[in-house]
Chain A
Amino acid sequence: MPAILEFAELVRTFGGLRAVDGATFEVGSGSITGLIGPNGAGKTTLFNCATGALRPDSGRIVFEGGRLDRKPPHRIAREGLVRTFQTARPLTRLSVRENVMLAGRDQPGERLTGWFFHSKAARRREELVRKRADELLALVRLDSHADAYAGTLSGGQRKLLDLARALMVEPKLVLLDEPMAGVSPPLRVELLNHIVALRAGGVTFLIVEHDLDFVMQVADVVVVMNEGRVIARGSPDDVRRDERVVDAYLGKRHEAVAS
Chain B
Amino acid sequence: MSTLASGGFWAFVFVVAGIYTIFALGLQLQFGFAGLLNFGQVAFMAIGAYTMAILVVKEQWSMWLAAPLAVGAAAVGGLLLGLPTLRLRADYFAIVTIAFSEIVRYFATNDDTLTGGAQGTINLSGTGVAAQYDTQWQRFQTHVQSSLGLGSRDAAMLVLVWGVAVTLLALTWIALRTPWGRVLRSIREDEDVAASLGKNVFAYKLQVLAVGSAFAGLAGLFYAWEFSFFSPDDFEPLITFFAWMIVLLGGLGRVWSVPVGAILFGVIFAGTRFFNFAPFSYFGSADRAYLRLMVIGLIIILTVLLRPQGLLGRRQEMVLE
Contact = CB atoms under 8 A, between A and B. Distances in A.
A220 interface: no
B185 A152 contact: no
Contacts of B183: 102, 110
Nearest to A129: B179
A93 B33 CA distance: 11
A91 B196 contact: no
B178 A102 contact: no
Interface in B161-208: 174-175, 178-180, 182-183, 185-186, 188-190, 192-201, 207
A115 B195 contact: no
A165 interface: yes
B316 A149 contact: yes
Contacts of B194: 102
Interface string B205-228: 001000100000000000000000
Given A73-B195, A103-B197, A105-B198, A152 B182 contact: no
Nearest to B181: A115
Which label, helix, strand, loop or mixed, suits the secondary structure of the B interface? helix
Interface stretch (A8-16, A75-83, A183-191, A208-216): A75-83
A152 B321 CA distance: 8
Given A93-B317, A110-B183, A51 B178 contact: no
Interface string A86-106: 000101111000100111110
A55 B85 CA distance: 20
Nearest to A73: B195
A107 B179 contact: yes
Contacts, number: 97
B197 A165 contact: yes
Given A109-B179, A111-B180, A115-B175, A72 B195 contact: yes
A80 B274 CA distance: 64
Given A93-B320, A109-B180, A126-B179, A77 B185 contact: no
Interface string A102-133: 11110101111011000000100010000000
B120 interface: no
Q: Which of A53, A104, A112 counts the most chain B CB atoms within 10 A? A: A112
A110 B193 CA distance: 16
Given A91-B190, A109-B179, A77 B253 contact: no
Contacts of B193: 85, 89, 91
A74 interface: yes
A93 B180 CA distance: 16
Interface residues of A, number: 38
A91 B186 contact: yes
B318 to A, nearest CB: 9
B190 A110 contact: no
Interface in A146-204: 149, 151-152, 165-166, 168-169
Contacts of B182: 94, 98, 101-102, 110
Nearest to B318: A93
A91 B189 contact: yes
Contacts of B180: 109-112, 114-115
A99 to B, nearest CB: 8
Given A115-B175, A152-B320, A93 B196 contact: no
Contacts of A165: 197
B186 A77 contact: no
A104 B185 CA distance: 15
Contact of B197 (A82, A149, A151): A82
A105 B211 CA distance: 25
Contacts of A78: 198
Given A91-B186, A102-B197, 20 more contacts: A73-B192, A73-B195, A78-B198, A82-B196, A83-B196, A85-B192, A91-B190, A92-B189, A92-B320, A93-B320, A110-B179, A110-B182, A110-B199, A111-B180, A112-B207, A112-B211, A114-B179, A115-B175, A151-B320, A168-B197
21 contacts: A53-B192, A72-B200, A73-B192, A73-B195, A74-B199, A77-B198, A85-B193, A89-B192, A92-B321, A93-B317, A94-B189, A101-B182, A102-B186, A105-B198, A109-B180, A110-B199, A111-B180, A112-B175, A114-B179, A152-B320, A165-B197
